[in-house]
Amino acid sequence: MASERPPIQPGDHKGYMEYALSLAEKSPPKPTNFRVGALVVDADTNTILATGFTLELEGNTHAEQCCFIKLASEHGVTEDELGSVLPQNSVLYTTMEPCNKRLSGNLPCADRILKLDGAIKTVCVGVLEPEKFVGQNLGRKRLEDAGIKVELVEGLEERILEVATAGHQD
């Protein structure tokens, strides 16, 4: 996996967000979802633990969900047990604010993050979720209320939204 990406310096939030954006571009354009890329990084070792993008795995999977499914599989645990095996200074980078509501009935990404027992202390987002599908997204507020830092990484918003909405009808 490391060979697929350029070296990113520790704390280079924009560099990680650019890599997440390159993952989002792999997601198939559809009128019914946003194309999002995500990665989980061990901030202490500057190691990418998992990557994901919308619809990468079977089912109506979101980017963050794909990261967590892969990590759970790698560690031989359920997604509910993932918090016990993740490094305690894990950072989630996602091109779009984690969802708080899923129209598909799947568990929202904000809930998935909250179930990790504080292993993810920071979530870096490229843009807040547009109100197109579920109205106002309260994912950021729920994470912050739980003590998780949500940091907006600025400078890529236009590109992120262009990729995210490819395939949408206006």
Active site residues: 64
Do the strands 149-152 and 37-42 form a parallel or antiparallel pair, or are they unpaired? unpaired
Task: Give, as one character, the DSSP assignment of residue 129.
Answer: P
Cβ–Cβ contacts within 10 Å for residue 87, how many? 16
Q: By C-alpha distance, which of 77, 17, 87, 107 is closest to 47?
A: 87
C-alpha 8/C-alpha 104 separation (Å) is 35
Helix intervals (H) in 76-153: 109-114, 139-145
